Amino acid sequence: MLTHLVLYQFKNHANSTFDLTHKVHCFWGQNGIGKTNILDAVYYLCFTKSYFSSYDSQVIKDGCKEMFIEGTIKGDKIRCLIRENGKKEILLNKVAYDKYSEHIGAYPAVMISPDDTILISGHSDVRRKFLDIILSQLDADYLQHLIIYNKQLAQRNALLKEYKGKNLDSNLLGTYNEILALHGTYIFNKRKGIIEELTVLVQQFYSQLSAEKENVFIAYKSSLKERSLLAIFKENEQKDFYMQRTTDGVHRDDLIFNIANFPLKQYASQGQRKSFLFALKLAEFHLLKKHLHKNPLLLIDDLFEKLDESRAQILIQIITKLDTQVLITDTDKERLSNAFAQSTNAFGLHEII
């Protein structure tokens, strides 16, 4: 339960304060006035970074040099700030973390946004990031393995570039291979396990959300299904040397979304895609709840965006039955009031101007 939220010079919020005492809170107003940024601030409190902005410099209000977000979750006070000198700090009950990664998973959250269509249409790195966000909240060891793997991968790639036109030092490359294999194998096994759970939940929620009868399925694409990571590196050594980068490994894994045995990306209608994305995010919510024994905050941006009335009603029924706090944005006050007045009497409306 998020009970209090303060945004100071965060994106387009100069100084905004919200008291949040209900299970469902709806933020309404015209587009471009900062509704989405409220949800992003909550996400920042939980993940120490923005859901929408790649760089911390992008979350500071134009013309300003510093910002902070402060929220009270489960009675704990979390403060995220960026000082004028660019230094970033994350504090829990006034005590700063030594490593931001220590905070991940303590306050789980799930964001649902119209931008999530990129999970279907975008590059594989978007889908890997989706998996990694889930697993990093569930398993602190996974996050550390991922951090080390990415760091060693960058160093291996730098070595391959350094040896352009020279004789390759196989022994030095072999050292990187062993380290990457250790951490990459852990990552692969965790991803494989969670995808099996995720698929079952996605199928259940898709069935509820969609009147369609087709089945949906998630396949895990990884070279490690066929051979070890050490064998992959050895097999690709000359190719990697020529390309000056590590051409295969868990950093090339992907998720394949299928509908009725066809790729969702090419064959699904807009309604089917929307149902699948909501099913995917609700599955993420239930995975976090099951493994962490906590109810994640649910953040839904533009709830009714490209969502037909029947799907909207089903979705509202599902989310109001969840034992968690839900923060929602939309442009229409009356639409929000009508939607939630029938489902719960514990909701708040906030006009953003």
Quote the CA–CA distance of 54 and 57 in Å, as a whole number.
9
The pTM score is 0.93
Could you please state the CATH topology (level 3) that the domain comprising 1-107+299-353 is classified under: Rossmann fold (3.40.50)
Contact 303, 312 (CB under 8 A): yes
Contact 36, 301 (CB under 8 A): yes
Quote the CA–CA distance of 328 and 352 in Å, as a whole number.
12
Residue 307 or 102, more confident: 102
Which of 138, 46, 38, 147 lies closest to 92, judged by CA? 46
The ranges assigned to domains in the chain are: 1-107+299-353
Residue 257 or 307, more confident: 257
In this prediction, residue 343 carries a pLDDT of: 62
Contact 15, 8 (CB under 8 A): yes
Helix (H) or strand (E) run with residue 347 in it: strand 347-351
In this prediction, residue 172 carries a pLDDT of: 84
In this prediction, residue 170 carries a pLDDT of: 77
Per-chain mean pLDDT for the chain: 92
Helix (H) or strand (E) run with residue 46 in it: helix 35-47
What are 87-135's pLDDT values in tens digits? 999 999 999 999 999 999 999 999 999 999 999 999 999 999 999 999 9
> What is the CB neighbour count within 10 angstroms for residue 69?
23
What are 72-87's pLDDT values in tens digits? 999 999 999 999 999 9
In this prediction, residue 261 carries a pLDDT of: 86
Percent of the chain with pLDDT over 90: 72
What are 151-204's pLDDT values in tens digits? 999 999 999 988 776 777 778 889 999 999 999 999 999 999 999 999 999 999
Structure tokens at 156: 């291996």
In this prediction, residue 212 carries a pLDDT of: 66
Provide mean pLDDT across the span 259-288: 92
Structure tokens at 63: 């013309």
Residue 133 or 211, more confident: 133
- Torsion (CA) 287, 288, 293, 296 in degrees, nearest 10: -130
